[in-house]
Structure 1
Amino acid sequence: MDSLERLRGYQGEDIEIVLPGNLTVYDIHWFAVWCVEYRHNFGHVLIPRDLDVPPALGQTKITTSTPKTVNNCKEMLEGRVQVMWQLMGEDVQIQISGRIREDQYVAFGLSGREGQAEMIGGDVVVIGYNNRTGNFIAEDYYMSDIAQCDGKKGVCPDKRVGGRNDVVLVRGERKNGITTVTYTRPLRTNEPVKDRMIPERETSVIAAIGLLNARGEANAHEKLDKTDEDIRIDFTSSNVHECTNSLYNIPDTPEIEPWKAAVITDKDTFTAKIGPAGSNKGYSRITGTPSWGIAWYINDLLIPEITVERGRTYTFIVEGGNDPVNPAKYHPFYITDSSEGGFGQKNEAQQMEQKVFAGVKHNSGYPYPTAAGRYCEWTRTTVDSADNYDTFESFFQTLELKCDKGEPAKLVWTVEEDTPDLVYYQCYTHNHLGWKINVVDANQSQGNINSINHVLSVFTTFATFIALLLFLR
């Protein structure tokens, strides 16, 4: 229906799919439910070649519509950024729309090298919203180096390194999670060192998304949040319409209070099963990282924070699935210092960045998981959203446990003395299914117990003294 609103739950209903544009059932080979974030196929059907399918009612004619906007428009960074422009005499007016948080920015401008996406030497404008001042940002930047600005070089506002801001902020708006800032800048400026002239022909442009620092200036961006390919724009052109409406079709998401995070501090045996991640109240809000819909349930709790002692031995009864041919039901359990996990999907260099404490062995130099077991999953008995439940306990009442045939696996972990204070239980094959294990010294835990006993002893003595006074009275 040309909408990106969250789907409601469906059960026992037929769903009608309307193919976009001129696409027909004869143009496709399969239909799949696909997760963009984790690049995972959650199910598909193949379309036979010999179908006799009539057109949908009311769609026997193909119609096209004229774009509603007269501005030029181009998408960048997989549709998360839209750039609109219009030549106005000796200036060009540019509107940047980005799906970013309030603490993020979008940088857009001319590449440092013609014919490729080059950040060093780039002349960009950083737009965003400064929630400290309540003002929108449109600032002229020059990038002499891939580093935070030190006042002399790096990714610096022109005015911090002896130049001036040649950008004029026109207006700003933040709505539905999208920051939109409109500004003008001259085609030519009087700062040839820090500003590049905008040519009256196609030129290479760059874009990036990153965090604003405490000064309200651009901080480093992630590797995946910048353009890598050569994208070209002619700022004197007209009728360039290469944008979709997907950026604007996502409605406002109200602030949702997360469930209270669970903790386990006094166990030495744990069960590990798979269950739903809890939509906006569960995994993603507790950890601050995206979820792909499922997570570890430890002792029937959603990703509890576990505390263990150095020198003690712990047992995990794992039921994460042992069929590597079915990745949706194959989640070996392991313990690592990585907050991301997914050791098995990393290349050798990335694996070297993780330290594994249990659940992985090597055969002829190749790693393999040791704790998978049969597949057990807590599944929903209803189709409504987890966001409708105030507590995890009430949400858990809507789950039922389904297990495949087979036996669970067992992971036995003796916590070494040099184990870091913070490690994680994770899934070997997928990222972000687990959470924290706090590691403490044995005497540290005993010290806490002694402190509690001391408080109880003092309280008992005081109560006895008060009772004696009352008796004597």
Structure 2
Amino acid sequence: MHVTKLFCLTVCLLLTGSGSRAAVFLGDLVTHFHQVRGGLYAIDEKTFFIENFNYDGAGITVYVYIYLIGDEVDETGGGIIVNWSSSMMTVPERRYNSENVTISLLNGPETAANLNISNIQAFTIWCEPFELFFGSLILPANVSIPSVDTSSPTAAPVVQHCAQLHDDLQVFWTTNSSHIKIKQCGCISDDQYMAFGISGDDAITFMVGADVVVAWVEQDGVANAVDYYINERQQCRGGEGVCPDTLLSQSGTDDITIIGGGVSDGMTCVEYERSLTTSDPRDSPYLLNNQTQFVAWALGPLAAEEGLRNLALFHTEWPRSGANFQLNFAQGSQCVEPLQCIDEMVCAWEGANMTAMEPTTFFVKIGSSGGLRGYQAITGLSGWGIALYINDTLIPVLRVRRGVTYTFIVEAGNDVNDRPRYHPFYITDSIEGGILLDTPEDRLRKNEQVFAGFDLDSNQPTAAGRYCEHVETSSSGDVATNCSSRLEDYLSTLTVSCRGDESEAAILQWTPDDNTPDLVYYQCANHFHLGWSIEVVNGTDSGMGNITDPGMGNITDPGMGNITDPGMGNITDPGMGNITDPGMGNTTNPGMGNITDPGMGNITDPGMGNTTNTTDNMGNGVQNNTTDVDMRNNTDIGMRNITNNVTGMDMDSGETSSHMMEVWLILLASITSLIVTINL
């Protein structure tokens, strides 16, 4: 193929991320396919620059492909691939509209990193599957290319070091006398982050006090690297917690310059650089004196909620069980092999339910959120690594009844000066909670209703007790990541640790009423997303699961000659004629003459709750006006099993026997009436 030679030797001044630098104009790319065009420059012997690069993004497996002097420039192969960026080999499959692009030979592969631009004959944008040039340029001969400026922060040595911090996280770095260039690569999705930096303690790996960079790539391909400082183990709010430097209460500076990033084969990489030392007192220096430094790292979810979007939430992976990580940034190290990112489905635990139709006492504590299988998987919301426990169970759904008073013994932290452990308990219609963190604008947006545990007039919580925490043990991590384990298995690995005396527990009483919505939430007033839902029903609601009698629906008479009740045994009367009673609703027997009992007639019994007037036209009264509104805790499937399954409640056995006797008397009277009628 013939490629036009362009001999433009113009020396230009380019404005790049590191300031103005002299660069040599090599020529304009020749367009072949997919609208590829742009002006190609050499910034130095290792760096190409494409000015106003255009590409429609419609190609697949497209590379920067170079040919050395003396090689045949042939579309069928024989050239050398140059990585598009430090994190991506191929040209991204997206549209470029007059964008400036920097391509460094140092990004690799190794063959390219050891070359100089003055050794290169041709620069092409090449599609491998179809062996086609989308754009190309034969470089001018005898051009004086600037040497690499070693004082520039963008200039990096060829040697690149790597550390494997986790199965899903590697960190690469290069240094010069003034800057460090870092690339984080992780097996994360577009709603997750990876973080790396200097530990908050000189002697161990410690999160609080750590200076880290939180990095991620958004769904549209935009790479992010943000300077963070961790001053408390909590969500960033009001300038405290895990916050970007620019959001701290004593505002700092973001000293990170992002270079680029992308996603390839499930692996996300983001590259950035920073001065070894900065003027921000919260930034820890990177040492190049052959001294090891303790580092901190984490993987976790990004917040998606309005007002919190893309803030780092509590990590799901981090150095567990006191593991310490040290790196020597001067000597470095090498990773054995690249990451292998496998898309694994999260196997969520089944959430717990607690039903209480009678006055009940609930005990509230704080504890671990159970990793990816716990809070986040159960609720579908972004958690913070901790969550509320009710009766030693992680965020159960509570099912309660209007008009019944419930007591909450709250032991989740009452020291307002220890904000990470301060968890006042309240009941609200907000799925977020965290009312103490809301700005006036947040209050207007959420229009939150509070039903217990918080005084809106004084803006103060009323249910904050001593601190009791469900703490993970050494076996908790393995159980939390084992898809065959159950929530109960995980809970059994936890231990409870309390501060203070039992007398310091707070007591909150709440009686849902007609003004209480069907769905509310128990939450922490000082953090977002620590609690879960409460379902509120009326006293006669049979949808709660513990009041069940589908219409006495096991009494059937197919063909109107046989009444069969598998819950009552087998009552069969072939002389009954044509009795139709689906669920004992309306019984009509035209085969018996003029006997009409439109109810057996008006027996309304979801669970034998209300039995009213059964009188037939023969004048035989059958249990007139029997009403039992207190059978609400009984389960009657076919009138065979009468049980009380209110979670956490004890029911007096005498009361149970009394209810059972009432049911059997009603049933016996109805059967006796039928038999008497038949004999007549």
> In terms of Rg, which structure is larger?
2
The TM-score with structure 1 as length reference comes to 0.49
